[in-house]
């Protein structure tokens, strides 16, 4: 029995050595199964094996596997940008990956938006990159639209950081040889004289003559400052003299003013109605 036991042990050792020499891959596979799963993807090595970041999930809550085409695109972006530092957004647009940097507030907003839109239909891949750490998501069309709009605004702000109104020198003149000068309209000064005052009205002589005046162009006040209604203003000599029809009291003093666009009539004129 003792001899048989030693023979059995020796046979097992021999078989083990032969198996190790003939099937090395079996032992390598067994050893590799004990390694830890990669927890993050760094831009220095964006081509991991079929592993994933357990913290990166799509909007439905499922983990996303890294595909070779996506990793190649990220490698290309890494070679042509500075996304290894700061916060960046990468997304697919017209068949090509686009990237733009954001501040911490926008980055946090997009993270919250993606997490809150878990019930949306996830079918578009985007990447949030934070100091070289890639977080991959599959988002809904609505979330993707928000990201694309932010990218558009970001590009517009980058191309024109400040808005300044065009200078007057850059505005073309309607006259190709010299700028057009607009002069203020001239104002004609009228001299107004009161004649023939009575209880039924008075006449107003204007120099120079001014045609087209109406009763509404004249304003009459009594001695108490109350307005008095003028019923008519007519001229038979092309505006040199206007006959004003109005009821006034004998012995009272009135004041008259006139107004017309492009004309001045001086100070108010006193009208003394004789007894």
Over residues 115-153, the pLDDT tens digits come to 888 888 878 888 898 888 888 989 898 998 899 888 888
Are 51 and 142 members of one domain?
yes
The pairing of beta strand 188-189 with beta strand 133-139:
unpaired
Are 118 and 200 members of one domain?
no
Q: Is the dihedral of CA 169, 170, 176, 179 positive or negative?
A: negative
Domain membership of residue 129 (yes or no) is: yes
Q: Which residues, including other chains, have CB under 8 Å from residue 48's CB and lie 6 or more apart?
A: 38, 41, 66, 71
Distance, CA of 109 to CA of 107 (rounded, Å):
5
Are 147 and 62 members of one domain?
yes
Are 267 and 201 members of one domain?
yes
Are 47 and 122 members of one domain?
yes
The helix/strand/coil state of 189 is: strand
Are 116 and 196 members of one domain?
no
Phi/psi of residue 87, each to 5°? Answer: -105, 130
Residue with tokens 């733009």: 100
pLDDT at 263: 95
Are 195 and 116 members of one domain?
no
Q: Which residues, including other chains, have CB under 8 Å from residue 230's CB and lie 6 or more apart?
A: 215, 218, 220, 244, 245, 246
Are 142 and 210 members of one domain?
no
Count of domains for the chain: 2
Phi/psi of residue 68, each to 5°? Answer: -60, -40
What tokens does 126 get?
């985007």
Are 146 and 246 members of one domain?
no
Distance, CA of 100 to CA of 107 (rounded, Å):
11
pLDDT-flagged residues of the chain (< 50): 26-69, 79-80, 160-176
Question: What CATH number should be reported for the domain holding residue 246?
Answer: 2.60.40.1220
What tokens does 180 get?
């057009």
Domain membership of residue 111 (yes or no) is: yes
Distance, CA of 36 to CA of 24 (rounded, Å):
21
CA 122 to chain centre: 29
Per-residue pLDDT tens over the stretch 29-60 = 444 434 333 334 444 444 333 333 434 444 44
pLDDT at 75: 56
What tokens does 70 get?
């996506």
Are 79 and 144 members of one domain?
yes
Are 50 and 125 members of one domain?
yes
Domain membership of residue 46 (yes or no) is: yes
Tell which phi-psi region holds residue 86, choosing left (phi > 0), alpha (psi between -120 and 50) or beta: left
pLDDT at 45: 42
Are 154 and 259 members of one domain?
no
* Boundary of a domain, candidates 136, 159, 182: 159
Domain membership of residue 22 (yes or no) is: no
Q: Is the pTM of this model over 0.85?
A: no
Q: Which residues, including other chains, have CB under 8 Å from residue 6's CB and lie 6 or more apart?
A: none
* Boundary of a domain, candidates 113, 142, 159: 159
Distance, CA of 190 to CA of 58 (rounded, Å):
84
The helix/strand/coil state of 164 is: coil
Q: How far is CA 88 from CA 81, 114, 153, 167, 204, in A?
A: 10, 15, 15, 37, 83
Domain membership of residue 176 (yes or no) is: no
Query: Which domain covers residue 247, as residue numbers?
Result: 190-272
pLDDT at 176: 47
């Amino acid at each position: 029995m003792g001899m048989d036991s030693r023979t059995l042990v020796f046979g097992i050792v021999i078989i083990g050595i032969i198996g190790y020499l003939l099937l090395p891959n079996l032992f390598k596979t067994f050893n590799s199964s004990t390694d830890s799963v990669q927890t993050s993807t760094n831009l220095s090595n964006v081509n991991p094996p079929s592993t994933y970041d357990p913290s990166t999930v799509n909007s439905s809550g499922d983990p996303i596997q890294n595909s070779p085409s996506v990793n190649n695109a990220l490698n290309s972006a890494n070679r042509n940008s500075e996304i290894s530092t700061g916060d960046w957004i990468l997304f697919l647009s017209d068949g090509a990956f686009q990237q733009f940097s954001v501040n911490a507030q926008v980055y946090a907003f997009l993270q919250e938006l993606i997490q809150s839109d878990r019930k949306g239909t996830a079918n578009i891949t985007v990447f949030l990159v934070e100091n070289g750490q890639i977080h991959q998501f599959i988002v809904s069309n609505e979330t993707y639209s928000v990201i694309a709009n932010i990218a558009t605004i970001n590009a517009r702000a980058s191309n024109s950081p400040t808005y300044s109104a065009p200078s007057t020198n850059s505005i073309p003149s309607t006259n190709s040889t010299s700028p057009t000068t607009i002069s203020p309209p001239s104002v004609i000064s009228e001299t107004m004289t009161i004649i023939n005052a009575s209880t039924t009205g008075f006449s107003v002589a204007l120099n120079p003559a001014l045609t087209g005046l109406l009763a509404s162009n004249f304003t009459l006040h009594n001695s108490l400052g109350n307005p008095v209604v003028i019923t008519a203003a007519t001229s038979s000599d092309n505006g040199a003299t206007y006959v004003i029809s109005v009821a006034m009291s004998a012995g009272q003093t009135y004041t008259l003013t006139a107004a017309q666009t492009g004309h001045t009539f001086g100070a108010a004129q006193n009208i003394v109605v004789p007894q």
